[in-house]
Amino acid sequence: MEKIYSKDISSKYIKRKSYSSKFDYPNVLIVSGNYMYTGAAILCSGACINSGAGLVRVATAKKNAIPIKSNYPEVIAFDWYDKVSFDSAIKKADTIAIGPGMVLDGECRYIFSYVMERISKNQNLVVDAGAIKLLSDYFFEIKVKSLTITPHLGELKYLLKSAKPSHDDIVNFQNKTNANLVIKGYKTKIYTKDQIFENTTGSPAMAVAGMGDMLTGMIAAFINQFSDEVSAIKAAVFTHGYISDQLSKTHLTTLPTKCISNISDTMKGLLGDCYE
């Protein structure tokens, strides 16, 4: 098992070119937030736009669109029953992140199926929260560029159908699905096709609702900013914990809203010279 350190962040980052626009950086679609979980969509999209994405769109329950845009006017939010906007956003996205604020009801099942039927082999897929529980029906039908799943322990038990998932259970699942597994918790671990990584940042100050939504947004934005998706995931996990570590020096808990506002300057500090 290889530990993740700050050197892993800067060495794999693709420097920003002098002549570039928003279209040269990640175009992300976030599918998030039923009517009860507006906050998940706000946190996920806020983390994404602060993590270097060029364009962030959010397909969400209709009532969530205005609160999302009020918090982050840079984000394009729309009703997930607006099929014209939804189909266009799916087609344009480099990466689709789905799951924060979604539950196991008929609406979310329909939305999940809608995306899975339209995603292409040239796109990256990040699956979190409620969508993890919906994923099992689609594993062998999904053809994507990369698949990343981000379960905490409870979601991992559901995913692996085991009350006490073992190391071998996780490895076997990864081999079977070829997914990048981000097992969130103390010393978050990343299981990939070739290796297992253990994070070196993070603390109990992160034990706050919404931290997973933030991480999903970061991973979605980091993919396509690094040389490969595994490097991007490692960087997102490390940076996520590092921000909290710095804030926990003066805060008992580190709220995702506070952490999100520190993503960009923390990235600049870790990356150093990030422009050509």
Question: Could you tell me the two tokens for 51?
Answer: 């993590």
In this prediction, residue 213 has a pLDDT band, given cuts at 50, 70 and 90, of very high
Amino acid residing at 221: A
pLDDT, position 143: 86
- Work out the number of other CB atoms within 10 angstroms of the CB of residue 250: 7
Question: Could you tell me the two tokens for 198?
Answer: 């253990």
pLDDT, position 41: 98
In this prediction, residue 9 has a pLDDT band, given cuts at 50, 70 and 90, of confident
Between 168 and 136, residue with greater pLDDT: 168
**Distinct helix (H) and strand (E) counts, the chain:** 12, 10
Distance between CA atoms of 228 and 222, rounded to whole angstroms? 10
Q: Which of 222, 240, 239 is nearest to 231 (CA)?
A: 222
pLDDT, position 141: 74
Distance between CA atoms of 28 and 216, rounded to whole angstroms? 11
Phi, psi values for residue 98, rounded to 5°? -135, 140
pLDDT (tens digit per residue) in 251-264 = 999 999 999 999 99
Contact 199, 237 (CB under 8 A): yes
154 to 146, 158, 196: CA distances (angstroms): 23, 7, 20
Contact 80, 61 (CB under 8 A): yes
pLDDT (tens digit per residue) in 160-197 = 989 999 999 999 999 988 999 999 999 999 999 989 99
In this prediction, residue 139 has a pLDDT band, given cuts at 50, 70 and 90, of low
CATH topology for 2-271 is UDP-N-acetylmuramoyl-L-alanine:D-glutamate ligase (3.40.1190)
Residue with tokens 């259970």: 169
Predicted model pTM: 0.97
pLDDT (tens digit per residue) in 110-119 = 999 999 999 9
* Res. 233: pLDDT tops 90: yes
CA 195 to chain centre: 20
* Res. 17: pLDDT tops 70: yes
pLDDT (tens digit per residue) in 77-130 = 999 999 999 999 999 999 999 999 999 899 999 999 999 999 999 999 999 999
In this prediction, residue 140 has a pLDDT band, given cuts at 50, 70 and 90, of low
Residues 6+ positions from 24 with CB-CB distance below 8 Å: 17, 54
pLDDT, position 124: 98
Q: Alpha helix (H) ranges present in 76-210? A: 83-92, 106-116, 130-135, 153-160, 167-177
Contact 182, 149 (CB under 8 A): yes
Residues 6+ positions from 161 with CB-CB distance below 8 Å: none
pLDDT, position 276: 86
Segments making up each domain of the chain, as ranges: 2-271
Distance between CA atoms of 122 and 275, rounded to whole angstroms? 27
257 to 190, 194, 247, 271: CA distances (angstroms): 25, 34, 12, 22
pLDDT (tens digit per residue) in 26-76 = 999 999 988 899 999 999 999 999 999 999 999 999 999 999 999 999 999
